[in-house]
Structure 1
Amino acid sequence: MELECKTTHLNCYDTVLDTTLYQEETLESIVPDACPDILRIVDTEAVVCLKSKEAQEGRIEVAGTARCAVLYVPDGAEGLRRMTISIPFTCSAEHAGLGSSCRLMAVPRVQAADARSLNPRKVLTRVSLAVEVQVFAPRTASFCDGVECESAAGIQQLGETQSACLVIAVEEKPFTFSDDLNLSGSKPAMEELLKSRVDLRCSESKIIGNKLIFKGEAELQLLYREPSGAICPASFELPFSQIMEVSGVEEDADCTLQVLLTGCDCSLDGGEGHTVAVSLAMLAQAVVREERQIALLSDVYSTVYELNAERRPYTFYRLMEHTERRVMVREILETVTPAREVCDVYVTVGAVSQSREGSQVNLSAETTVNVVYRGEDGSLCTVARTLPCSCSVELAEGASCTCRCTCPGERFATPAGGGIEVRYPLDFRYLALMPHNTTGVSDIRLDESALRNTAGQPSIVLRMVGEGERLWDIAKAYGTTMDDIVQANALGEDVLPMGQLLLIPKKR
């Protein structure tokens, strides 16, 4: 007599690697002939662009470029000057589960950048980078949810339904933005572009059919020198809207979407200094998770024959929270000389960590705020300070949590008594999953030559229900069925009070 397991197949992804790679790069550079000698370096800021990412057998590799803007006071000339230094980087990681079919998500960010002059014509630049990587391996998950057999085999089956949050789709889409941007009439003309930075935000995402529609903004912030030598800021909001192909997901699926730079070019366009030509290359990376109900055959036996069932363990994850908490940072930065005006302010996010006390998880990040300001004597100065920031969330014990931290939106800095007051937002975006371990039947062997031994079993048994016992366990132990016990004892559905005396009929 043949038994056939009914198997459900489900295409999904396993998370093979979820980590952050840290990289430090240094480069010696010669000041271009067209630039004046360096008297004093004022500030160094870097923008990072992803160039490539690749998953290989047992290894991943991520490459990109950190473009550093070194601002300095020239020797024998007026006004701030800029030197642009591009530093390539490559980082890698090894793991046994990596392969060429894996999907690699990578988000590089700058943790710190600085430069010092070795002489008036040579600069040593250092940049510290953190690259957040997630690697997903495609797989076909198979679950036995029942047995097909002849009724004469007396097969009894116990099924259960598990809720599982699965990664169903991992997709990406490159796109570009190009435009000529005009300064407002109230802004002075540009003599030289000193710095540019881009903050990318995805404000909305929605799945419709097999399309993921997402919208957001690229906030471009410029720092430039006007003809008189003064330093001025300018900012532009550049909206974007894109469609990405996804498949096999429902419209209420949970989506993690990150947009990052792969290229950035800003230059003065025209001779009047009021137009900037901007070209941005971006990459959207999406990880789509969906809650699925999975039917499992959790146990099986035969009332007629000896039956052996092989079992295998399963770990299912349930999505608890996927949300964002915003924290406002506010601090007074002490300055050596009193500040007359603030020229520029920016924030870099360092290492993100977490700790747990019971059901409370504390998410922490180190942020470094940098301020370029003009002192009362007119000289340009900088002040930087690392400020810790944290937020607490309630998560049940046993839940796993992954967190990303960004500094979106506007940063504020203004002269205050004794220094400069800074204020900026910090977003902790975290994903919490609760694991659940269970076992299910994976294979069945029925021996038709071995009838179940019931020779020593009386025709009627009186049995008291123990604590935590299920009707299934009692029926299996005595080689009968749950229906027979229910009928013999006139039990209501799902009612099995502890201490109740049950009549266990012998299976004929």
Structure 2
Amino acid sequence: MELELKTSCFDTYEVGGEITLTQEETAETIVPDYCPDIARIIETDGKVYLHSRELRDGKGEISGTVRVTVLYTPDGEGGIRTLEFAIPFTAESENRSLPECVYLAAEVMTESLETRMLNPRKVFTHCRLVARLTGYRRVSLRFCPDAEAGPELCVEKRQEQQHATFLTHIAEKDFTFSEEMNLSPGREGAAELLTNRVCSTVTETKLVGSKLIFKGIFTVSLLYRTADGQCASTTGELPFSQIMEVEGAADGASATLHLQLTGADLQIDGGDPEGRQFAVTLYLHATALLRQEQELTLLRDLYSTAYQLTYDAAPLSLVSFCEAFSRRQTVREVLEIGVVADSILAVQAECGAVSVSREGGAAALRTMVSVRALYLDEGGVPLVAERGVEVSCQMDLPADCRITAHAVCPEEIQGSLADRGIEVRFPVDFRVEAASQVKKVCISAAKIDTESPKDLSGAPSLVLRCLGRQETPWDLAKQYNTTIGTILAANQLEAEEDIPREKLLLIPRKRA
């Protein structure tokens, strides 16, 4: 019987490239005729809606819009008015920075957004965007788990068990969510919506056959103007559930789901004359990453005690650890203001990019949260207090793992008037994906020369020595052309783990 290697293959995705792009956009916007003149700009808010992601010849290209909302005080009038407009953007990676990639993931956020008044009927907006692109390529991992050979070939083989996680599927779905949101009793109805904020949280994923069921909550915060010109805010939670088709997914696979807003339409329900009901329509893109865990057997080494055996080895890179989880930090800060505040209209917290560093044996995650409070002073003038707050989180993760994370404020931000200003309290969720890769060298081809038996006439029949500090019993057996079983029998030991390092061992040569 000839020596025969067994081959296994797994089709998987791997990260083919990660790129960070910065993009600057500017726009001059004329105030529509139906809007009053601008006396003073209060604040500017922007929401990024990603419309397309494309891979072309190794380049990544994205496009979308920044939906800008400018709050201002009107000339000659009281209260707050709003100006809305869209700034389109496109961004493209350079050269072939994502070679052989077949799927592109993108995350885009505003790093800075500022609007200034050119005249009462015209504004200038400057926006700086940061886009993080991740390309995935499809690969086939081939390796040898075992070898078959007849007893006459006297082949010894060294196998190793390895835990691995494979990214087997990337599934996508565009869907629309529509629901009604009601004001709680006691709140005055809305005459005009001013700003909105939507945050999504996936709470459950479940794979049933070829269908992935995922559930979660949209947290919707609204700032609106009442019929008598006063400003008020409200927050509501809207549960959602969706089904995504995933063909060929294995039983027991786990799913990590990412939701991205591609558009939103929030309006006062026209059928409600009291303005107590809102029609919420959200347009979303869902991406599911399905991973499967496997215990692999790898053929690491071969030799024959009777014949010359040669082999080729190839490197194999495997994901040995992969975990997705969330860690919550609770923030409590005071926004100092130089005036006496009468009331708080709305509080908003936007998380920036997450940086990862190592501190001792732990991974430290940090993000800068921009906190803004819209309030009225004693004279009823709307003002904004703003502050950047650094939020950090430490967690124990393997030193060599790759960490990707983003931070969100998933719940309503609480604000109250304090002695020194406005006290804010809110949670920050660090949503983390951590993965470690291990590199193994595995046998890829082998050949045994049965025409030339080993000449062992000059080799000693018995060796007496200790096991070296960096040496394994396998190394010892291979060096002296014997087997681990022979060494165990000669030293009256039962298992490989029983072989001592500090005692002399009898190492007899195995006779073919």
1:288: Cα distance to partner? 2.5
Mapped to 2, the partners of 1:97 and 1:128 lie a distance apart of 22
Mapped to 1, the partners of 2:463 and 2:182 lie a distance apart of 90
**Are the counterparts in 2 of residues 470 and 496 from structure 1 also a CA contact under 8 Å?**
no
Q: 1:347 aligns with which of 346, 349, 355?
A: 349
Residue 276 of structure 1 is matched in structure 2 by 278
Quickly say closer, same or farther: Cα 1:95–1:162, change in 2 above 3 A: farther
Residue 509 of structure 2 is matched in structure 1 by 505
Report whether the alignment pairs 1:144 with 2:148: no
1:252: Cα distance to partner? 4.6
Matches within 5 A, 1:10-409: 10-94=10-94, 96=96, 98-99=98-99, 102-184=102-184, 186-247=186-247, 249=249, 252-270=252-270, 272=273, 273-319=275-321, 321-409=323-411
Unaligned runs of 5+ in 2: none
SS of the aligned residue for 2:152 comes to helix
Mapped to 1, the partners of 2:276 and 2:474 lie a distance apart of 80
1:337: Cα distance to partner? 1.8
Quickly say closer, same or farther: Cα 1:100–1:362, change in 2 above 3 A: closer
Q: Which moved more, 1:126-135 or 1:233-242?
A: 126-135
Deviations 1:58-84 (A, max 9, x none): 211121111011111111233311111
Count of aligned pairs: 507
Quickly say closer, same or farther: Cα 1:208–1:500, change in 2 above 3 A: farther
**Are the counterparts in 2 of residues 58 and 94 from structure 1 also a CA contact under 8 Å?**
no
SS of the aligned residue for 2:352 comes to strand
Q: 2:422 aligns with which of 409, 420, 423?
A: 420
1:387: Cα distance to partner? 1.0
SS of the aligned residue for 1:187 comes to coil
Mapped to 1, the partners of 2:58 and 2:192 lie a distance apart of 47
Residue 496 of structure 1 is matched in structure 2 by 499
Deviations 1:439-490 (A, max 9, x none): 11111133344332323224x2133232243332233223333334444444
SS of the aligned residue for 1:472 comes to helix
1:28: Cα distance to partner? 1.0
Residue 466 of structure 1 is matched in structure 2 by 467
Q: Which moved more, 1:473-482 or 1:406-415?
A: 473-482
Matches within 5 A, 1:436-455: 436-455=438-457
Mapped to 1, the partners of 2:361 and 2:181 lie a distance apart of 50
SS of the aligned residue for 2:93 comes to strand
Letter in 1 for 2:286: A
SS of the aligned residue for 1:191 comes to strand
TM-score normalized by the length of structure 1: 0.93
Mapped to 2, the partners of 1:255 and 1:354 lie a distance apart of 24
Letter in 1 for 2:506: L
Mapped to 2, the partners of 1:470 and 1:98 lie a distance apart of 42
Quickly say closer, same or farther: Cα 1:480–1:445, change in 2 above 3 A: same
Quickly say closer, same or farther: Cα 1:137–1:95, change in 2 above 3 A: farther
Letter in 2 for 1:241: S
SS of the aligned residue for 1:34 comes to coil
Letter in 2 for 1:375: D
Letter in 2 for 1:464: R
1:251: Cα distance to partner? 5.2
Q: Which moved more, 1:284-293 or 1:245-254?
A: 245-254
TM-score normalized by the length of structure 2: 0.92
Quickly say closer, same or farther: Cα 1:94–1:288, change in 2 above 3 A: farther
